């Protein structure tokens, strides 16, 4: 008999621009909050999946020692910002297969701006050897090339992409854990200082310290309205192969199976939590996941508003663009926000209609672009 597995609880740490706290301290805060939200006891957790750039020389097993856990299943995320969504998919399968009964899925880092630059110069051998010696500007320099190419190929405009950043900022103003909460107008977005032309300041995320967590287990123990079912989930790594600055990602390969498995299509989603390292990558995800046709996302953006109370609720807690990017935690902030919305616990930014939504992940920048993509469709268990 297949176990009905889902998400039983969620938690976050406080987000700050920089911190003296240890990585373990920040991860522990998110883990404790998720445990308390789930109603599961600490000694019932026998699986751990962790995604964190700063974790080495530690790993999932030594983290278990730090946290005093004994595990029958351990997973270390390798897909950067796509790691947490992939970890969730794998945690579900582990519980279904009986390898674990309850899994803590955890992601976070304690970065600041300088730490982020050091990370990007040593991100992997290809970037260290063939990116950093060119003064590549980290991810900003690479994604600026992708945005320029999208603008040239499809006529996408900065005014259209800016609607993503502005909508998310309006949501962040209802999120006390967001680091950037000042109102943002289109003028502010368009005229912000140049980082890597065509990217300006509000196209980029603020590296910060923080962590995110969910608990995965059997849904039969969650109280009414508090469980979240994962209807479908897929991941894809290193796609497209051999391109430097592609205008598409792995989502286009699995989207049909994703929607077929879920039994719902893009139009049935009450919200989208997309991986928002840059507005251009949100736009590309919206295309690849068929909210807009390829090359027509500019028109789509111009026709919608993206705050929690807008016509297309997107990254309803403010996303990484306004909350900050807590390293690998940035790949999980959309997941915890989705769970919060589906449990109707989003208070000042709670959607009226929050029955199901899509969460996507993206990350692990290699020679030119993010290698990994993932997406899941979540549904509230009544």
Q: Which of 2, 20, 56, 134 binds other proteins (CB under 8 A)?
A: 134
Which CB atom, from 62 or from 129, has the smaller least distance to other proteins?
Answer: 129
Q: Which stretch binds other proteins (CB under 8 A): 39-47, 141-149, 277-285, 334-342?
A: 141-149
Non-local CB neighbours of 360 within 8 Å, separated by 6+ positions: 85, 251, 272, 273, 274, 275, 285, 289, 334, 373, 374, 375, 376
Which CB atom, from 141 or from 266, has the smaller least distance to other proteins?
Answer: 141
Which CB atom, from 29 or from 54, has the smaller least distance to other proteins?
Answer: 54
Q: Does 196 bind other proteins (CB under 8 A)?
A: yes
Phi and psi, residue 339, nearest 5°? -65, -40
Half-sphere exposure of 294 (CA within 13 A, CB side): 8
Q: Does 272 bind other proteins (CB under 8 A)?
A: no
Q: Which of 4, 157, 243, 256 binds other proteins (CB under 8 A)?
A: 243
Q: Does 245 bind other proteins (CB under 8 A)?
A: yes
Q: Are strands 209-218 and 73-76 parallel, antiparallel or unpaired?
A: unpaired
Q: Does 195 bind other proteins (CB under 8 A)?
A: yes
Which CB atom, from 132 or from 253, has the smaller least distance to other proteins?
Answer: 132
Q: Does 198 bind other proteins (CB under 8 A)?
A: yes
- Of the candidates 100, 136, 355, the residue with the CA atom closest to the CA atom of residue 218: 100
Phi and psi, residue 262, nearest 5°? -70, -30
Which CB atom, from 53 or from 308, has the smaller least distance to other proteins?
Answer: 53
Q: Does 199 bind other proteins (CB under 8 A)?
A: yes
Shortest separation between residue 206's beta carbon and other proteins, angstroms: 13
Q: Which stretch binds other proteins (CB under 8 A): 23-31, 78-86, 134-142, 209-217?
A: 134-142
Cα gap 63→54, rounded to integer Å: 12
Which CB atom, from 142 or from 375, has the smaller least distance to other proteins?
Answer: 142
Q: Does 157 bind other proteins (CB under 8 A)?
A: no
Q: Does 120 bind other proteins (CB under 8 A)?
A: yes
Q: Which stretch binds other proteins (CB under 8 A): 135-143, 221-229, 327-335, 348-356?
A: 135-143
Cα gap 4→380, rounded to integer Å: 13
Q: Which stretch binds other proteins (CB under 8 A): 36-44, 94-102, 117-125, 357-365?
A: 117-125
Which CB atom, from 49 or from 297, has the smaller least distance to other proteins?
Answer: 297
- Asked if 70 and 46 count as a contact pair (C-beta separation under 8 A), the reply is yes
Q: Which of 24, 32, 58, 140 binds other proteins (CB under 8 A)?
A: 140
Scanning the structure block, which residue is given the tokens 């592609």?
A: 246
Non-local CB neighbours of 375 within 8 Å, separated by 6+ positions: 85, 233, 234, 251, 254, 255, 258, 289, 358, 359, 360, 361
Q: Does 241 bind other proteins (CB under 8 A)?
A: yes
- Asked if 379 and 261 count as a contact pair (C-beta separation under 8 A), the reply is no
**How many residues sit in the footprint of other proteins (CB under 8 A)?**
43
Find the binding residues for other proteins in span 16-75 (CB under 8 A).
Answer: none
Q: Does 192 bind other proteins (CB under 8 A)?
A: no
Phi and psi, residue 360, nearest 5°? -120, 155
HEC profile of 17-72 = CCCCCCHHHHHHHHHHHHHHHHCCCHHHCCEEEEECCCCCCCCHHHHHHHHCCCCC
Shortest separation between residue 121's beta carbon and other proteins, angstroms: 5
Hey, what are 81's tokens?
């910002």
Hey, what are 5's tokens?
């597995």
Q: Does 146 bind other proteins (CB under 8 A)?
A: yes
Which CB atom, from 135 or from 382, has the smaller least distance to other proteins?
Answer: 135
Instruction: Note the maximum CA span of the chain.
Output: 58
Query: Applying CB under 8 A, which residues contact other proteins?
Result: 117, 120-121, 125-126, 128-138, 140-142, 144-146, 148-149, 152-153, 193-199, 240-247, 367-368
């Amino acid at each position: 008999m297949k176990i009905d597995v889902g998400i039983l609880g969620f938690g976050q740490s406080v987000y700050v621009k920089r911190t003296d706290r240890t990585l373990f301290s920040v991860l522990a805060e998110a883990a404790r909050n998720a445990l308390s939200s789930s109603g599961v006891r600490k000694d019932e957790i026998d699986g751990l999946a962790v995604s964190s750039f700063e974790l080495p020389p530690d790993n999932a097993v030594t983290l278990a020692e730090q946290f005093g856990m004994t595990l029958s299943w351990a997973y270390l995320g390798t897909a950067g910002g796509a790691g947490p969504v992939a970890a969730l998919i794998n945690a579900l399968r582990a519980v279904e297969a009986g390898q674990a009964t309850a899994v803590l899925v955890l992601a976070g880092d304690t970065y600041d701006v300088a730490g982020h630059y050091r990370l990007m110069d040593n991100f992997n051998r290809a970037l260290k050897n063939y990116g950093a010696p060119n003064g590549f500007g980290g991810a900003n320099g690479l994604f600026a090339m992708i945005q320029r190419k999208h603008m040239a190929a499809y006529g996408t405009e900065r005014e259209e992409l800016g609607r993503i950043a502005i909508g998310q900022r309006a949501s962040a103003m209802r999120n006390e854990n967001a680091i950037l909460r000042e109102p943002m107008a289109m003028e502010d977005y368009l005229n912000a200082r140049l980082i890597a032309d065509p990217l300006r300041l509000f196209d980029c995320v603020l590296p910060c310290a923080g962590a995110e967590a969910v608990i995965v287990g059997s849904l039969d123990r969650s109280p009414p309205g508090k469980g979240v079912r994962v209807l479908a989930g897929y991941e894809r790594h290193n796609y497209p192969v051999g391109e430097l600055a592609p205008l598409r990602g792995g989502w286009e390969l699995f989207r049909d199976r994703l929607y077929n498995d879920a039994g719902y299509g893009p139009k049935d989603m009450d919200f989208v939590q997309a991986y928002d390292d840059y507005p251009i990558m949100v736009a590309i995800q919206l295309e690849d996941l068929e909210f807009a046709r390829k090359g027509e996302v500019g028109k789509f953006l111009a026709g919608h508003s993206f705050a929690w109370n807008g016509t297309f609720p997107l990254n309803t807690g403010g996303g990484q663009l306004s909350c900050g990017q807590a390293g690998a935690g940035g790949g999980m902030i959309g997941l915890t926000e989705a769970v919060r919305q589906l449990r109707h616990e989003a208070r000042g930014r709670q959607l009226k209609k929050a029955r199901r939504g899509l969460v996507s992940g993206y990350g692990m920048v290699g020679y030119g672009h993010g290698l990994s993509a993932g997406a899941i469709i979540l549904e509230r268990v009544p």
